[in-house]
Amino acid sequence: MGKKIGLFFGVVVLSFLLWYFFLKPHDYVVRFEVKALPGTINQTLKFWGNQLEDNEFLEQNDLLNIENRIKFNDSTYTYHWKIESQNDSISKVKVYVTDDEHSLANRLAIPFSETDFEKRTKRTVEEFTKALKDHLLSFRVTVTGKDEISSKYCACFSLKGTQREKARGMMEYYSLLSNIMAQKKVVLDGTPLLKVTKWNMQKDSISYDFCFPVIKSDSLPKTEGLSYIQIEKQTAIRAVYHGNYITSDRAWYALVDYAKKNNIAIDQKPLEIFHTNPNMGGDELQWEAEVFMPVQE
């Protein structure tokens, strides 16, 4: 009987060692919780990573799983960031890290001492969490629930790019639209708006119309690239965003999250109405935009 028990425990220990040294998919894991939605964490992680000198993003399986690789001197670390939504405001993040060149040596040393690999990994994750917390102070999103997109006739330029390039596109075409409308004395019918026509969440790319609402008439100006579209009245989920318009897509993710948790079928083509002129400067937390996510009829 004693031999059988000893054999059993021997098999268990051997199986564990085989898994730990050769089958375990990562060398180390760091966990943290933060008061932020997965979409905000996802976008902040990408922005932060792109500021690093030797960072490379490998793949994004979905919004909740991102992999990147960072070089540190003679080592290359691969990070798998797994984001889990805990409730309406809290997300848990697990960061699975592997040293591509020294994996076995790290696994041997980790149980007995705090290695340079562990210290570097903890420091890197701490640097990201600080950047994330700083970013969270720079904007506010309040989801107000179901509302309605008003019918508008608009003069628009169609653009495409990444989500982060959206604000630059708006700035470039704001002056052009303003000049065209002013020269022809076009009567405006509201503040500028942006209507997304395609959103690729996997690649963070969008196609969109940047528009001035106008009063429809037979004498509206015509110029290359300028088109007129009718935005129809439609039920939508509404949010109010305060902050720099570069990151107003944080409201998009908040609306997607709200729709998912409330079982609301949506068309992921957000519409933003800008109530503040960024050219006037001032406190960015006072900049306001209404953001709508259309509800499927």
User: What is the amino acid identity at position 242?
Assistant: H
DSSP 133-174: HHHHTTEEEEEEEEEEEPPEEEEEEEEEEETTTHHHHHHHHH
Please give the C-alpha separations between residue 89 and each of 33, 142, 157, 232, in angstroms, as whole numbers: 10, 12, 36, 33
Task: Provide the number of structural domains found in the chain.
Answer: 2
- The tokens for 177 are 């639209």
Q: What is the pLDDT along the chain (297 residues), one digit of tens a residue?
A: 555 554 444 443 343 334 333 334 567 899 999 999 999 999 999 999 999 988 999 878 789 999 999 998 888 989 999 999 988 789 999 999 988 665 555 555 556 557 888 899 999 999 999 999 999 999 999 999 999 999 999 999 999 999 999 999 999 999 999 999 999 999 999 999 999 999 999 899 999 999 999 999 989 999 999 999 999 999 999 999 999 999 999 999 999 999 999 999 999 999 999 999 887 778 999 999 999 999 998
Q: Is 152 found in the same domain as 290? A: yes
- Look up the CATH number of the domain holding residue 254: 3.20.80.10
The DSSP symbol for 279 reads G
Residues 6+ apart with CB under 8 A from 51: none
Please give the C-alpha separations between residue 86 and each of 36, 38, 63, 90, 261, in angstroms, as whole numbers: 10, 10, 15, 5, 12
DSSP 232-251: PPEEEEEEEEEE-GGGTHHH
Domain end marker among 105, 137, 169: 137
Run of H or E including 77? strand 75-85
Domain end marker among 116, 137, 158: 137
Q: Is 221 found in the same domain as 104? A: no
Domain that holds residue 207: 141-294
Q: Is 155 found in the same domain as 126? A: no
Q: Is 168 found in the same domain as 130? A: no
Residue among 266, 289, 124 nearest 201 (CA): 266
Q: Is 46 found in the same domain as 90? A: yes
Is 220 buried (19+), middle (13-18) or exposed (0-12) by CB count in 10 A?
middle
Q: Is 189 found in the same domain as 210? A: yes
Angle at 81 between CA 93 and CA 206, to 5 degrees: 105
**Is 4 in contact with 83 (CB distance < 8 Å)?**
no
